[in-house]
């Protein structure tokens, strides 16, 4: 559902001239759109700060930029690459991804980029439209395993990982970007805001009309007009949704979803259509939603209960769309 394309901050960023009026910044980033709304006595035009932050994350994490740090990591010929002194984004995302990898027992694994590319979901699509060779998949799986990635941050600032391993932080970077922008607002003393990038959201305070921020969850349908299945009230929280109902590829005449199971090397085949997670950090909400999509409905519920997460799952029951949830969504069961 989410692919980290180049962040492009459109020239259409705009804001209201009056300080007491609500501000809105809008544009394109990560191959999708973003919308930032905020107001209050400390509200000022932050379009430049937002643009700089998105460009900085792009330079660090974009797989679509050959000059980004992650592209340098993936293109290296040995096991080491020097980390730019000013790249705080990569290490923060790396540490968060490591946390989720460990918590999910490998269901969230940023080191499976060779598998992602083999199935046609990477920055460069494979020449063949056939199902990837099983032996190649096994080789890619052996390369993967985020538990063996090492990071050393010292005077030399070296990033070290096994030769042949390639990384992809797509499933956490968009939510992380939301957090970065939210922190920019909070550093300016702005407490009433909503930051949204490609459907991943973080909100605090209230809207300009004094009402709470209500965030919609899409009905998981492959085609047709967008419609909402539920609205969630969010305050000082983040919401992220992952799903298998839109992004897919055809291989050997069969449709495969974009969610790859790191254990098997194949796209998942269970009946979970989408997973929405509400928690403080948008980066973690983003990553946990991916974990749920890898695990499937029942295992995702177990994971959410262990982590005390508010999770809303929509699944297919013999052609009938049903829902289950934990926390505030428990009444959906």
pLDDT tens digit at each of 333 positions of the chain: 343 333 333 333 344 443 457 899 999 887 788 999 999 999 999 999 999 999 999 999 999 999 999 999 999 888 878 888 778 999 899 999 999 999 999 999 999 998 888 888 876 666 667 788 878 777 777 777 888 777 666 666 777 888 788 999 999 999 999 999 999 999 999 999 999 999 999 999 999 999 999 999 999 877 667 789 999 999 999 999 999 876 767 777 777 788 999 999 889 999 999 999 999 999 999 999 999 999 999 999 999 999 999 999 999 999 899 999 999 999 755
pLDDT at 332: 53
Sheet holding 80-82, edge to edge: 80-82, 158-160, 150-152
Per DSSP, which regions of 123-175 are E strands? 150-152, 158-160
Question: Locate tokens 């970065």: which residue?
Answer: 180
Using alpha carbons only, what angle is made at residue 299 by residues 293 and 300, rounded to the nearest 5 degrees?
Answer: 45
- Residue 112 within any structural domain of the chain: yes
pLDDT at 7: 35
pLDDT at 275: 97
Nearest-angstrom CA–CA distance, 32 and 227: 18
- Residue 6 within any structural domain of the chain: no
pLDDT at 78: 81
Nearest-angstrom CA–CA distance, 255 and 236: 39
pLDDT at 11: 33
Inter-residue contact 111 to 143 (CB < 8 Å): yes
Nearest-angstrom CA–CA distance, 323 and 275: 10
- Residue 7 within any structural domain of the chain: no
The CATH number covering residue 32 comes to: 3.10.520.10
For 326, the domain range is 23-332
- Residue 191 within any structural domain of the chain: yes
- Residue 279 within any structural domain of the chain: yes
Pick the closest to residue 4 from 76, 75, 90 (CA basis): 90
- Residue 38 within any structural domain of the chain: yes
pTM for the complete prediction?
0.90
pLDDT at 192: 97
Bridge partners, 216 (sequence order): 231
Q: How many domains does the chain have?
A: 1
- Residue 11 within any structural domain of the chain: no
pLDDT at 8: 37
pLDDT at 283: 98
- Residue 128 within any structural domain of the chain: yes
| Pairing label, strands 32-39, 150-152 | unpaired
């Amino acid at each position: 559902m989410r692919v980290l394309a180049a962040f492009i901050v459109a020239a259409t960023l705009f804001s209201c001239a009056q300080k007491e009026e609500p501000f809105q910044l809008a544009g394109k980033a990560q191959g999708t759109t973003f919308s930032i709304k905020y107001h209050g006595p400390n509200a000022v035009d932050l379009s430049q700060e937002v643009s700089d932050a998105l460009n900085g994350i792009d330079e660090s994490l974009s797989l679509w930029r050959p000059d980004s740090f992650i592209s340098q990591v993936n293109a290296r010929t040995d096991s080491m690459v020097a980390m730019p002194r000013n790249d705080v984004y990569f290490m923060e995302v790396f540490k968060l991804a490591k946390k989720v990898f460990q918590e999910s027992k490998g269901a969230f694994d940023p080191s499976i980029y060779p598998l992602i590319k083999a199935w046609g979901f990477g920055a460069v699509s494979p020449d063949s439209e056939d199902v990837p060779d099983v032996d190649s998949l096994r080789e890619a799986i052996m390369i993967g395993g985020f538990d063996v990635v090492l990071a050393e941050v010292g005077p030399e600032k070296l990033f070290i990982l096994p030769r042949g391993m390639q990384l992809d932080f797509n499933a956490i970077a968009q939510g992380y970007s939301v957090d970065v922008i939210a922190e920019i607002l909070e550093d300016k003393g702005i407490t009433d805001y909503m930051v949204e990038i490609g459907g991943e959201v973080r909100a605090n305070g209230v809207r300009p009309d004094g009402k709470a921020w209500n965030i919609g969850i899409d009905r998981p349908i492959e085609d047709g007009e967008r419609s909402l299945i539920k609205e969630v009230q969010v305050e000082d929280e983040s919401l992220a949704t992952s799903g298998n109902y839109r992004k897919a590829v055809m291989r050997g005449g069969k449709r495969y979803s974009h969610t790859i199971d790191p254990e098997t090397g194949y796209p998942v085949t269970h009946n979970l259509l989408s997973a929405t997670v509400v928690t403080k950090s948008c980066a973690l909400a983003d990553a946990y939603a991916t974990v749920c999509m890898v695990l499937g409905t029942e295992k995702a519920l177990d994971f959410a209960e262990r982590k005390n997460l508010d999770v809303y799952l929509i699944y297919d029951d013999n052609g009938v769309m049903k829902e289950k949830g934990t926390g505030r969504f428990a009444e959906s069961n």
